Structure 1
Amino acid sequence: MARRKTEVFSMSFLDCITCAFGSVVLVYVLINAKGGLRATTQTRAMQAEVQQLEEQVLEGYQNLVVLRNSMVQTQSEEVRTEGMGERVLAETEQLKVQLADSNKEALSRREAIERLKADLKSLEEGTRRLEGASERSDTTGTRVRGFTGDGDRQYLTGLRVGGERILIMVDASASMLDETVVNVLRMRNMSDTRKMMSDKWRRTLSTMDWLAAQLPLESEFQIYAFNTQPWPLKEGTEGKWLKVNDATALNESLTNLRKAIPKDGTSLENAFQAIAALNPKPDNVILITDGLPTQGTSAPLIKKTVDGDDRLKFFERAIAKYPKNVPLNVILMPMEGDPSAPSAFWLASRRTGGSFISPSKDWP
C-alpha cells in the first residue's frame, strides 16, 4: 500500500490567510470611515465658524456704515453750528449798530423837537406882530412878515421880489436833502423827522422865510412846491392867487412847506406847465432849486439813469414851455455832480430878464 504525501499548505491555512486579510481590510475600512466622519465633523465645524465670522464681518460693515453716517451728521452739525455762531455774532453786531442808530435817532428827534419849538415860537411871534400890525398900520412899512438873520450881515443879492403877481416855486425833490450824492442816498433811507432836519432843507426853509418877508403888501402871491409833480402849499388854491396882506394864507403856506418831506426826482417841465393854469399869469417867478431836472413829464421807461446830457435836454424842454415875458429869478442851492446847472439857469434868467444867485451857506 502506497504511502500518502504530506502537504505543508492545506486548505485550512489559506482560509486563515484570507480571514486575516479580510480582517485587515475591515479594520482599514472602519478606520477610514471613522476618519471621514471626523473630517466631515471638522469641516462642518469650520463652515460654522466661517459663517459666524462672515456674519461678524457683515455686522462690522453695518456698524461701519452707521458710524460713517454718524460722523457725516456730526460734521454737518458742526458746520451748521459754526454758521449759526457766525450768524449770531453778525446779528449781535447788527443789533449794536441798530442800537447806536436808535440812540442817534432819539438824539436827532430831540434836536428836531427843540428846533420845531423854536420855529413855532418864531411863527407865534410873527403872528403877534401881524396882529399888532393890523392895529397899527402906520408902523408896518410895506412887509407882511419880518425876518431876522444872524448878526448884522447884509447881502447885496440883486434879486427882485416885486410885482403884482409873484409866484414862488420850491424844489422839494430828494436832492434837497444834502449837497452830496452819497449823503442824499443815505438820507433817503432815514426817518421823515431826520429828513426835515437836514441842513440843506432848513436853509431852503429860511430862504422861503426871507422871501416871504420881502413880498409887497399890495401884491398877490402863490407858492408851489414840486418834485415830479407840482402842488400849491395852501390846499385848494391851485390856479388861484392869494393876497399878501392875508397873513393867514401866507403863514399856512409856509407851515405846510415845513411839513413837506423832500423825496423823488425833479420835473421842471411839469412845474412850468402849472404856471399856465394861473390866470392871469404871473409877472414875476422865483425858482428855488439845486440843479437840472432828472426827468421830463414822466420818468424814463427804459433808461433808468440819466447823465448830464439827458438833464440838459430835460431842462431845454422845460424852458420851451416857460411863459414868455415873465422874468425867471433863480436861487440855486449847492449840489455836487451837476456842473452845467449854474450856466444853464444863468442863461435862462438873462433871457427872461430875471436874476440868478447862488447863495453862500450862511444866507439868508
Structure 2
Amino acid sequence: MARRKTEVFSMSFLDCITCAFGSVVLVYTLINAQGGLRAQTVDQTQRAEVSKLEEQVLEGYQKLVVLRNSMIETDKESVRTEGMGTRVLEETERLKVELADSSKETLSRREAIERLKADLKSLEEGNRRLEGASKDPSATGTRVRGFVGQGDRQYLTGLKVGGDRILLFVDVSASMLDETVVNVLRMRNMPESKKLMSQKWRRTVSTVEWLAAQMPLEGQFQIYAFNTKTYALVQGSEGKWLKANDPNSMTEALEKLRKTVPADGTSIENAFLAMNALNPKPDNVIMVTDGLPTQAAAAPLIRKTIDGDARLKLFERAFAKYPRDVPFNVILMPMEGDPMAPAAFWLAARDTGGSFMSPSKDWP
C-alpha cells in the first residue's frame, strides 16, 4: 500500500489563516469605528468651543460698542460741564451787575419818592387854590392848579395859555428820554423806572404841569400824548373837551402822564388828525416836543433811517392839515442832530399867530 503524500497547506491550515485574517479585519473595523466616533465627539466638542468663543467675541464687540458710546457720552458731558461752568461764571458776573444796578435803582427810587412828595405838595397846593377860587372868584387863587418850581423867575416868552378850548400835545416818543442820540439808545434798554426818572422827561412833565396851572378856570382843555400814535391822557375822552375847573380830570391826565414811558418814533400828522376830530375845534394849541417827526400817519413798509430833509418834508406834510386860524404854540425841548427843527417850528408858529420857545434847563 502506497504511503499518503503529506501536504503542507491543508484545509485546516487555511481555515486558521482565514479566521486570523477575519479577526484582523474585524479588529481593524472596530478600531476604525471607535476612532471615527471619538473624532466625531472631539469635533463636536471643538465646534461647541468655537461657538462659545464666537459668542464671547460678539459679547466683547457689544461691550466695546457700549464702552465707546459711554466714552462719547462722557466726552459730551464733559463739554456740557465745561459750558455750564462758563455759564455759571457769566451768570455770577451778571448777577453782580444786576446787584449794582439794583443798588442804583434803589437810590433812584428814593429820589423818585422825594419828587413824588414834591408833586403831592404841588397837588395839595393846587387843590387849595382851586377851592379858594370856587368860593370867591375875586380871590388870589384863580388858577386851575398850583405849581411849585425851582425858583421865582418870570420869563418873557409871548406864550399865552388862554382861550375857551386849549389843546396840549405832549411828545412821548423815545427821544424824550435824553438830549443825545447815544444816551437815548442807552436809556431804551434800561428798566422803566430809570426811564421815568430821566432828567429830560421829568422836565417835560414839569412843563406840562406848569401849562396846566396857567389854564383859565372858565375854559375847557384836552391833553393828547403822541408818538407813532395819538391818544388822550384821560381814558375815554378822545374827541371830547374837559372842563378846566374839574380837578379830577386834570389830575387824572397828569397822573397818566407821569406814568407814561417814552417809546417809539414820532408822527405829528397823527396828532393833527386827532386834533381835527375835536368838535368844536380848539382855539389854542400848545405842543411840547423835541424835534421833527420820524414817520407819517403810517409807518414805512421798509424800516430805514431818516435824514433831516425827509423829516422836514414829513412835518410840512403834517402841517398842511393844520388850520391856519388856530394859534400853534411850540415848546421845543433840546435834542441833538435835528438842526432844522427850530426854524420849521418857528415858521409854523409865526404863520398861525402862535409863539415858539426853547426853554432853559431850569424852566419851569
Cα distance in 2 for residues equivalent to 1:310 and 1:205:
29
* Residue 179 (structure 2) pairs with residue 179 (structure 1): yes
What is the one-letter code of the residue matched to 1:310?
A
Cross-structure match for 1:37:
none
Q: What SS class does the counterpart of residue 225 from structure 1 fall into?
A: strand
Cross-structure match for 2:333:
333
Q: For residues 49 and 121 of structure 1, do their structure 2 counterparts lie closer, same or farther at Cα, with a shift above 3 Å needed?
A: same
Q: For residues 118 and 151 of structure 1, do their structure 2 counterparts lie closer, same or farther at Cα, with a shift above 3 Å needed?
A: closer
Q: What is the CA-CA distance between 1:119 and the residue it aligns to?
A: 0.7
Percent pairwise identity: 61
- Structure 2 portions without partners, runs of 5+: 1-46
Q: For residues 253 and 160 of structure 1, do their structure 2 counterparts lie closer, same or farther at Cα, with a shift above 3 Å needed?
A: farther
Cross-structure match for 1:115:
115
Q: TM-score, normalised by structure 2?
A: 0.74
Q: What is the CA-CA distance between 1:330 and the residue it aligns to?
A: 0.7
Cross-structure match for 2:299:
300
Cα distance per residue 1:69-106 (max 9 Å; x no partner):
44333322221211121122222222333333333333
Q: Which has the higher mean CA deviation after the structures are superposed, 120-129 or 58-67?
A: 58-67
Q: For residues 78 and 315 of structure 1, do their structure 2 counterparts lie closer, same or farther at Cα, with a shift above 3 Å needed?
A: same
Q: What is the CA-CA distance between 1:288 and the residue it aligns to?
A: 0.6
Aligned positions of 1:209-220 closer than 5 A: 209-215=209-215, 217=216, 220=219
What is the one-letter code of the residue matched to 1:240?
W
Q: What is the CA-CA distance between 1:269 and the residue it aligns to?
A: 1.1
- Structure 1 portions without partners, runs of 5+: 1-46
Cα distance in 2 for residues equivalent to 1:153 and 1:172:
27
Cross-structure match for 2:150:
150
Cα distance in 2 for residues equivalent to 1:107 and 1:274:
39
Cross-structure match for 2:163:
164
Cα distance in 2 for residues equivalent to 1:137 and 1:203:
31
What is the one-letter code of the residue matched to 2:132?
G
Cross-structure match for 1:236:
237
Q: What SS class does the counterpart of residue 132 from structure 1 fall into?
A: helix
Cross-structure match for 1:354:
354
Aligned positions of 1:243-254 closer than 5 A: 243=244, 246=245, 248=247, 251-252=250-251, 254=253
- Asked whether the 8 Å contact 2:129–2:143 carries over to 1, the reply is no
Q: Which has the higher mean CA deviation after the structures are superposed, 64-73 or 110-119?
A: 64-73
Aligned length: 357
Aligned positions of 1:1-364 closer than 5 A: 67-140=67-140, 143-156=143-156, 158-165=157-164, 166-215=166-215, 217=216, 220-227=219-226, 228-231=229-232, 233=234, 235-236=236-237, 238-240=239-241, 242-243=243-244, 246=245, 248=247, 251-252=250-251, 254-261=253-260, 262-276=262-276, 277-282=278-283, 284-297=284-297, 299-308=298-307, 309-364=309-364
Q: What is the CA-CA distance between 1:116 and the residue it aligns to?
A: 1.4
Q: What is the CA-CA distance between 1:254 and the residue it aligns to?
A: 4.8
Cross-structure match for 1:38:
none
Q: What is the CA-CA distance between 1:64 and the residue it aligns to?
A: 5.7
- Asked whether the 8 Å contact 1:328–1:355 carries over to 2, the reply is yes
- Asked whether the 8 Å contact 1:172–1:225 carries over to 2, the reply is no
Q: What is the CA-CA distance between 1:120 and the residue it aligns to?
A: 1.0
Q: TM-score, normalised by structure 1?
A: 0.74
- Asked whether the 8 Å contact 2:133–2:140 carries over to 1, the reply is yes
Cα distance in 1 for residues equivalent to 2:327 and 2:53:
108
- Asked whether the 8 Å contact 2:242–2:249 carries over to 1, the reply is no
Q: For residues 67 and 345 of structure 1, do their structure 2 counterparts lie closer, same or farther at Cα, with a shift above 3 Å needed?
A: same
CA RMSD of aligned residues (A): 4.4
- Asked whether the 8 Å contact 1:232–1:238 carries over to 2, the reply is no
